[in-house]
A and B are shown apart, each in its own frame.
Chain A
Amino acid sequence: MIKKFLIHTCIFLIPVIIGYAILENYTRNLPLSPKAKSAFYKKHQNNIEILILGASQNRDAINPEFLSQKALNLAYPDQDYYVSSKLLEQIGPTLTSLKTVIVPISYGHFETAPNQKETWKNSMYRHYFGATISEKFTYFKDNFLYISFPNYYSTKINSHRNGKNTVDCNEYGYNRDVSTSAFYKLKYDSLSIAKSPVPITPLQENPAFIPENIERLEAILNYCSQQNYKVILLETPTTVLFKQQRIPEVLHRKDSILSLIKSKYTIQHIDLDTNNDYSIKDRRDNNHLSTQGAKKFTKRLNKIIE
C-alpha cells in the first residue's frame, strides 16, 4: 500500500520537478546585473583593487568603467552593513590585489532597521559569488534562484521574454539602463519632479537601531584594518528636495557617529553630497545617479582616490 502511495506521489510530482528545473535554468541564464558582475569577478579576481559595498546609491553612482583601477561594485538595493560585512569577509580574501574598500555612509544608514540577516539575496550571492550572507541556517531554498524570490524573478523573466529587459550592463556589471528610474518616467520635468513625493528612509527617528548598525560598520572597519585595506567612507549626491526632507536630529546623529568613527579609525571620508552641479538628467531620482551622473561622479571619485 505504501509503495503504491509513494509511486503515485512520485508520478504526480515528476511534471512539477521538470517544470521547476526549466524555470530555474531559465532564471540562471537571465542577463542580470549580478550575472555580469560575477563574470567580471571570475575573470579579474586577481586584478581587482577596489571593492565597492553598500546599497543602491553606491551601485548607481559608481561605474567602475571610469576608475583607473579594476573595481568590483557589489552594492545592491537595501543592503545594510551586515550584508556588506559578510560580503567583504568572504569575497575580500578571494581578491588577491584588493587595496581599497568603499563603504557608504549616508543620512539614513544608522537609523534604518538592520533587517538583512535573512534575505532572499542569499541565494543570489551564493549562486553568483559563492558567498553566504544570511545568518540563518543555510536553507535548501538558498541554493535555488527562482524560488528565493519568485515575484522578482518572474518579472525579470517576463520582461526578458517580451523583449523589455531593462538590463544593459557593461563589462563591470554596471546597468546603464535608466528607463525604470523615477525621473525618466517623469520625463525629467522639473515641475513634476518637484510635485512628486520624495521617498526617504528613515521617515522617523529610530535611535534604537544605531548601536547595531555601528557594530556592523565597525566589523567592516576592523576587518579592513586587519587586512591593511584602505577604507573610503563615501557620501553620494542627493537633491535639494531630498535634503529638505531629512530629519535634523537624524542627520545630527549621523554626523556625530562619523566624527567618532574618524577619530577611532584610519579612514578617508569623501563627501560628494555637497556638490550641486548635477543636472536632472544626471539623476535617476532624488538620491540615485543616472548613468550620465555616474560618469561624472566616478571620474570625480577617481581623481580623489588617485
Chain B
Amino acid sequence: MLFNSFDFGLFLPIVFILYWVVGRKRIQGQNLVLLIASYFFYGVWDWRFLLLIFASSLVDFYAGKYISKAQTKQRKRLWLYSSLSWNLGVLFVFKYYNFFLDNLKTLFEIPENTFTTLDIIIPVGLSFYTFQTIGYTMDVYRKKIPPSQDLLKFLCFVSFFPQLVAGPIERASKLLPQFSKQRTFGYDKAKDGLRQVLWGLFKKIVVADNIGVAVFAIYNHPESYGSLTIIYGAFLFLFQLYADFSGYSDIAIGTAKLFGFDLSTNFKLPYLANSVTGFWRRWHITLSKWFQDYVYVPFVKGNTLGFLSKQSKKIVGLLLTMGLIGLWHGADWTYLAFGLLHGVLIIIEGTTITRKGKKMKLHQWLETGVFWSKFYTVTFLVVSLIFFRASTLEKAIVMLKEIITQNVAFYNFNLIIGKKIIFLIIMIVAEVWRKRYTHPFTNLEGVFPKIVRWGIYYFLIFAIIRYGRPQEEFIYFQF
C-alpha cells in the first residue's frame, strides 16, 4: 500500500481509531493492532512478502537472544554470522544475484544457458528492513542493547508500517524501547504529525511527480534539446529525488507521530551543504549513519587489511563504504559509479590544507562558507545524479556529452511543465524559510493566524487533488 494512494487514506484512520480506542489500555493491545496493520499494509503488495519478513524477524529475534546467552566469543560470533548470512543472503538472492550472474557470464564468457537468472521480484522495502534488523543483531553483539525478549515487540519493530518500506532506517536502541512504553495520545503531537503528512504529500504528489514529467521527457530524449534544457532537466531530477524521498520520510515520520512514535530525521536540506562530505550528513541520514557505524568504522578500526597504513585504510574504507552505498540503491553499474564518485570526492575533501596558518581538512574549510562551495557541491551532485538516474552508464555519458557538445544552448528550450514549476519554488522557499524546524508547519501558530494557516492547508490539499498524477510510485521503493 502506498502512502499516496486512496487506500492508505482509508487504512490510516481505521488503524488510528483501532489503535487508540481498542488498544489504549494495554501496550500489548496497541502493539497487536500495529502488527496486524503493518502486516496488512505490507501484504497488500504481495502476501508472499510476509513470509520473508516474518522469517527474517524470527531469525534476528532468536539470533539476538542466543548471542546474548552465548558464553564464549566464538559462539556469539557464530550466531552473529548466522544472522548476517541469512540477511545478506536474502538480500543477495533477491537483489544482486541476477546482476552478479550476468556480469560473471560476460566476464568469463560463460554460455547463456549455463546458469539461469532468477525470475523473481524484489520484495518492497527489503533493503530497508534488512538493514534495520542487521543493525539490531550487531548492537546486541556489541552489547549496546539488550536482546528483545518479547517477540511481538520485535515483530512490530521490524514491520512498523510507517517506516517499513522506505525508512528512515531506525536503530533498535531508538525504536525498540518505544514499543515497550505505553503510548498516550498527545493532541499537539498528533496535530503536528498530520501537518507533516500533509507537507510530505504535497512534496511527493505535487512537486516530485510533476517535475518527474519533465525529467522523464528530457532524460528519455536528451538529443531533442539544447544543453540548457538538459542542465535544467538534470537540476530538476535533483529536486525530484529530494521531494520524492524526503516527502516519503515526512509522511512516515508524521504518521508515526499519530501513533505516539518518534522516528529519526532523514533529511536536513541536503542541497544547502557546502561540501560532498556535508551533503552525506544531511541526505538520507539514517542510511549514511548506518554505513558509518556498521561498515566504515569497523573496517577502519578492525584488523582487515592490517598491512595498510591508517591513512590508506581510511581511503579504502571510504571507497568501500561509498561503493556499497551506491550498490545499496540497486544492482547496477550506474549506482556503483554514483557511490564511487562520491567516495572519491569525500577522500579529496578529507585532505589536510593550511589556511591562514591553520591546518584543517578541505571539507572543513568548504563548510566555513567559501562563496563557491555551494556551487561546487550542487554542480557535483547534478553530475553524479545523472549516473543515478540514467538506465545505463552509456546513457549517462550520452547525457553528459549532450550538455558539453550541444552547440545551441537555447535550442528547443522548454520548461515542459510550465507554471507547475511554481510548486517547486514554493517547496524550496518554505523549507529554507523554516529550516530550523523538522518541517515548515512546525509551530506555525506563532507565525500566522488560524485563518491563514487553514488557508495554506486547504491550498495544499487543493494542489494535491488537482495536480496529482495517475501513477502512484515512490522512487526509493525500488531500493
Q: Are B465 and A120 in contact (CB under 8 A)?
A: no
Q: Identify which of residues 180-195 in chain B touch chain A, using a CB-to-CB cut-off of 8 Å.
A: 185-187, 190-191, 194
A1-19 interface bits toward B, Cβ cutoff 8 Å, 1 = contact, 0 = none: 1101110010010011001
Shortest A213–chain B CB gap in Å is: 19
Query: Looking at the complex, which one of A2, A139, A141, A147 makes contact with B20 (CB distance below 8 Å)?
Result: A2
In terms of DSSP, what is the predominant structure of the interface of chain A?
helix
Q: Are B44 and A137 in contact (CB under 8 A)?
A: yes
Q: What is the bound-complex CA distance between A154 and B466, given in angstroms?
A: 8
B12-27 interface bits toward A, Cβ cutoff 8 Å, 1 = contact, 0 = none: 0000010011000000
Q: Are A149 and B185 in contact (CB under 8 A)?
A: no
A113-129 interface bits toward B, Cβ cutoff 8 Å, 1 = contact, 0 = none: 00000011000000000
Residues of A within 8 A of B44 (CB): 137
Residues of B within 8 A of A19 (CB): 462
Residues of A within 8 A of B457 (CB): 12
Residues of A within 8 A of B466 (CB): 150, 154
Shortest B194–chain A CB gap in Å is: 7
Q: Are A16 and B458 in contact (CB under 8 A)?
A: yes
Looking across the interface, which residue of chain A has its beta carbon closest to that of B457?
A12
The size of the chain A interface, using a CB distance under 8 A, is 25
Q: Are A2 and B461 in contact (CB under 8 A)?
A: no
Residues of B within 8 A of A148 (CB): 470
Query: Looking at the complex, which one of A2, A139, A147 makes contact with B468 (CB distance below 8 Å)?
Result: A147
Q: What is the bound-complex CA distance between A150 and B462, given in angstroms?
A: 11
Residues of A within 8 A of B7 (CB): 139-141
Residues of B within 8 A of A151 (CB): 467, 469
Shortest B449–chain A CB gap in Å is: 16
Does A265 sit at the interface, judged by CB under 8 A?
no
Q: What is the bound-complex CA distance between A77 and B6, given in angstroms?
A: 26
Shortest A150–chain B CB gap in Å is: 5
Residues of B within 8 A of A149 (CB): 469-470
Residues of A within 8 A of B465 (CB): 20, 23, 146-147, 150
Q: Are A15 and B187 in contact (CB under 8 A)?
A: no
Query: Looking at the complex, which one of B6, B190, B468 makes contact with A5 (CB distance below 8 Å)?
Result: B190
Residues of A within 8 A of B21 (CB): 2
Q: Are B6 and A139 in contact (CB under 8 A)?
A: yes
Q: Given that A1-B187, A2-B20, A5-B185 are known contacts, is A15 also in contact with B458, CB under 8 Å in the complex?
A: yes
Q: Are B6 and A9 in contact (CB under 8 A)?
A: no
Does B352 sit at the interface, judged by CB under 8 A?
no
Q: Given that A15-B458, A20-B465 are known contacts, is A140 also in contact with B6, CB under 8 Å in the complex?
A: yes
Q: Given that A16-B458, A20-B465, A137-B44 are known contacts, is A147 also in contact with B6, CB under 8 Å in the complex?
A: yes
Q: What is the bound-complex CA distance between A137 and B1, given in angstroms?
A: 11
Q: What is the bound-complex CA distance between A148 and B20, given in angstroms?
A: 32
24 A-B pairs (CB sep. < 8 Å): A1-B185, A2-B21, A2-B185, A5-B185, A5-B187, A6-B17, A12-B454, A12-B457, A16-B458, A19-B462, A20-B465, A23-B465, A119-B470, A120-B470, A137-B44, A139-B6, A146-B465, A147-B468, A148-B470, A149-B470, A150-B467, A151-B467, A151-B469, A154-B466
**Chain A interface residues (CB < 8 Å from chain B):** 1-2, 4-6, 9, 12, 15-16, 19-20, 23, 119-120, 137, 139-141, 146-151, 154
> What are the 4 tightest A-B residue pairs by CB atom distance, in nearest-first order?
A120-B470, A140-B6, A141-B6, A2-B185
Task: Knowing that A2-B185, A139-B7, A151-B469 touch, tell me 6 more A-B residue pairs with CB under 8 angstroms.
Answer: A2-B21, A12-B454, A140-B10, A148-B470, A150-B467, A150-B469
